[in-house]
Amino acid sequence: MPDLLTRLGIPHPIIQAPMAGVSTPALAAAVSEAGGLGSVAAGSAPAAALAQQIAEVRARTARPFNVNLFCHAQPAPDASGDAAWLDYLLPLFTEFGAEPPAALAEPYPSFADNDELLALLLDARPPVISFHFGLPPADTLAALRSTGAVLLASATTLAEARQVEAAGLDAVVAQGAEAGGHRGVFRPELGDAGLGTLPLTRLLVRTLRLPVVAAGGIMDGAGIAAVRRLGAAAAQLGTAFVVCPESAADAAYRARLLSPDQPPTVISSVISGRPARGFLTRLVREADAPGRAAVAAYPRAYEAARALIAAAQAQGAADVAVQWAGQGAPLARALPAAELVGALLAELAAAGG
């Protein structure tokens, strides 16, 4: 059986993480052109927007790239819970001269029940497709597999990884707790084991037949070499690519990633309703205070956060923001994506990888 890099069609064991809101076609294409696997994130993108992203990547490179999809369970309506969360945030809205939304809508559907996105993918036939928060139904996987796509999914525990293997996917992404952005837990209501990248990677490598991609806290070639020694077929890096000029990160986000005085990163649910790791900004610090109300369900809570951030930033409060980042954030460096891939490869070689 061909190894994972051969299946993916890439020469180097580097995957750029698909970061919704930050990844761009330019970033994905630059990483793919440099011999890694670039990714675009369809987590919050309607079908038309995703079609445009795929077209833009293909206009920039003929090499393989990944399309990532969110497979979260859609929450039940909860008008009273949503209202309680908005009421809890009211003092912050008031501080910035704004009113909270009257109600919280579903900002985007899950791929698990999105026929429009499925039809688009069957037509566009991206070479690699990955899933976060779980898996789509078996018939959807079969349809995607028929296009020849290589299929990957994130897992944060052995139990989740076993579901990925049982579903017949081609590889599993072992997402350690160090990773920035949303935790890929399948059922967050059951809690999060919080396994780190190294023990999770080794556990999956020793237990599964599937190739394992390590993700979380990896920022340089030495980190890639470390997870390769544990048996990972490749490493997925996200925060390392946020400060590349090809990303969509704003100036404040980039400055924080490059600052010697970074705040710590924390895992919190107050931004979106699902646990995610990012900088301890004022928004997280004040909204995630002891005794807070129950956060509205994912992804409805995002609507409240986005409205609050827009109101705050209109008043110049840049620290009321969403700035996802992994624990390796202090190692970030501002390089074009291709140069960063080159640096990672040089460091990997120096580390004996």
pLDDT value at 46 more than 90: no
- Please, what is the average pLDDT of the chain? 96
In a 10 Å sphere around its CB, with 0-12 CB exposed, 13-18 middle and 19+ buried, how is residue 51 labelled? Answer: middle
Chain-centroid distance of CA 18 in Å reads 5
N residues, the chain: 353
For residues 204 and 165, the answer to whether their CB atoms sit within 8 Å is no
Instruction: Select 4-74+109-249+331-350's CATH number: 3.40.710.10, 3.40.50.150, 3.20.20.70, 3.30.70.360.
Output: 3.20.20.70
How far apart CA 122 and CA 264 sit, in angstroms, is: 42
For residues 155 and 204, the answer to whether their CB atoms sit within 8 Å is yes
Q: What is the pLDDT of residue 44?
A: 66
Q: Which residue has the tokens 């051969």?
A: 6
How far apart CA 277 and CA 327 sit, in angstroms, is: 8
In a 10 Å sphere around its CB, with 0-12 CB exposed, 13-18 middle and 19+ buried, how is residue 23 labelled? Answer: buried
Q: What is the DSSP letter of 66?
A: E
Q: What is the pLDDT of residue 256?
A: 96
pLDDT value at 266 more than 60: yes
At 276-324, the pLDDT tens digits run 999 999 999 999 999 999 999 999 999 999 999 999 999 999 889 999 9
Residue 144 makes CB contacts below 8 A (sequence gap 6+) with: 118, 121, 122, 129, 136, 151
Burial 124-144 (b: 16+ CB within 10 A, else e): bebbbbbbbbbbbeeebbebb
At 102-139, the pLDDT tens digits run 999 877 789 998 999 999 999 999 999 999 999 999 99
The model's confidence at residue 327, banded by pLDDT at 50, 70 and 90, is: very high
At 248-264, the pLDDT tens digits run 999 999 999 999 999 99
Q: What is the DSSP letter of 190?
A: G
pLDDT value at 168 more than 90: yes
Cα-based distances in Å from 330 to 18, 27, 233, 308, 327: 20, 21, 25, 28, 8
For residues 349 and 220, the answer to whether their CB atoms sit within 8 Å is no
Half-sphere exposure of 236 (CA within 13 A, CB side): 31
Q: What is the pLDDT of residue 196?
A: 98
How is the chain split into domains, by residue range? 4-74+109-249+331-350
How far apart CA 278 and CA 33 sit, in angstroms, is: 29
Torsion of CA 252, 253, 259, 265, to 10 degrees: 130
Cα-based distances in Å from 248 to 19, 23, 28, 143: 10, 6, 12, 32
Percent of the chain predicted with pLDDT > 70: 99
pLDDT value at 212 more than 90: yes
Show the beta-strand stretches assigned E in 10-88: 14-16, 38-41, 65-70
Please report the DSSP string for 104-137 in residue order: ----S--GGG-HHHHHHHHHH--SEEEEESS---
Cα-based distances in Å from 288 to 266, 292, 306: 11, 6, 16
At 140-164, the pLDDT tens digits run 999 999 999 999 999 999 999 999 9
pLDDT value at 1 more than 70: no
Among 101, 169, 129, 154, which Cα is nearest to 41's? 129
Q: What is the pLDDT of residue 109?
A: 81
How confident is the model over 34-39, as a mean pLDDT? Answer: 98
Q: What is the pLDDT of residue 105?
A: 87
How far apart CA 299 and CA 73 sit, in angstroms, is: 10
